[in-house]
């Protein structure tokens, strides 16, 4: 069973019995040099895995092999209303194509090379890939007038994946839209600034993402989010192990990482240190 941390009936949100019991827990743990009591969610950022192009089915398969509990994927809409996975607004960086994703049909996008012969996947293909694996999907909802939110929810429901998907809106409007389309969907707020913490929490978001630079500059922010009854996830990108350890000891509950092999080793060592 991949998810060993349950709170408020939600799996993989990383909320432990320690969260919400006071802002001093994480700091006390760090001072003691000990690992926290809670499990830390392991999310492969852009589904990355060593040697594989980002946001491709091959990368997702490898990240799962390395122990990722969730894959963070970037959703964009096509000219003909399909939902595909690509981080950038344009095609140049990660494919052999040019121009904006929104100006292309799915058929046109499928002809492109997304790296090492891989194709740009659709959201439905990723749902099929993770079906039955226990691996969750964290959806980075890119702000776009052509990204069909109802279709995202319809596809999620079609594949019986509502409890295996965490929707990540970047604004309160999108958060409210997804909550109205299916209140059972869990949500993570990809907030743009720290002033957004309370508005997103009051709007019902389940998890809040804080950037590492915010946490280092204002460590109390972790305690603030915990005090609102929400776990903190952070996007560490390609941060080395030493920085991942620091973030864990500062109290984060989940880490989006470009280095799933490094994160897997860290979590293995954490479990060993606690005799698990």
As annotated, the active-site residues are: 45, 87
C-alpha 99/C-alpha 97 separation (Å) is 7
Give the residue carrying structure tokens 């997702």.
60
Neighbours of 226 (CB within 10 A): 24
DSSP 86-119: -SSSBSTTTSS--SBGGGS-HHHHHTS--STT--
| Rounded-to-10 torsion of CA 60, 64, 69, 75 | 10
Which residues, in sequence order, are bridge partners of residue 7?
10
Q: What letter would DSSP give residue 122? A: B
251 neighbors 231 (Cβ within 8 angstroms):
no
């Amino acid at each position: 069973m991949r998810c060993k941390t349950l709170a408020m009936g939600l799996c993989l949100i990383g909320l432990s019995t320690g969260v919400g019991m006071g802002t001093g827990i994480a700091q006390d743990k760090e001072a003691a040099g000990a690992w926290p009591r809670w499990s830390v969610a392991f999310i492969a950022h852009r589904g990355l895995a060593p040697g594989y192009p980002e946001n491709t089915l091959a990368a997702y398969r490898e990240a799962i092999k390395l122990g990722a509990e969730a894959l963070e994927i970037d959703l964009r809409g096509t000219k003909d209303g399909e939902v595909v996975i690509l981080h950038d607004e344009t095609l140049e960086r990660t494919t052999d194509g040019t121009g904006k994703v929104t100006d292309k049909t799915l058929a046109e996008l499928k002809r492109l090379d997304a790296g090492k012969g891989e194709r740009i996947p659709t959201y439905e293909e990723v749902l099929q890939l993770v079906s039955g694996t226990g691996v969750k999907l964290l959806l980075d909802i890119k702000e776009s007038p052509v990204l069909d939110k109802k279709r995202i929810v319809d596809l999620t429901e079609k594949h019986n994946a509502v409890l295996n998907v965490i929707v990540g809106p970047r604004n309160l409007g999108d958060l409210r839209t997804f909550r109205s389309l299916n209140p059972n969907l869990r949500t993570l707020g990809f907030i743009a600034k720290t002033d957004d913490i309370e508005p997103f929490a009051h709007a019902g978001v389940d998890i809040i993402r804080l950037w590492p630079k915010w946490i280092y500059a204002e460590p109390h922010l972790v305690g603030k989010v915990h005090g609102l009854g929400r776990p903190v996830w952070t996007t560490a990108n390609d941060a080395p192990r030493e920085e991942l350890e620091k973030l864990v000891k500062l109290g984060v509950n989940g880490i989006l990482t470009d280095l799933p092999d490094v994160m897997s080793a860290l979590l293995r060592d954490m479990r060993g240190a606690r005799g698990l």
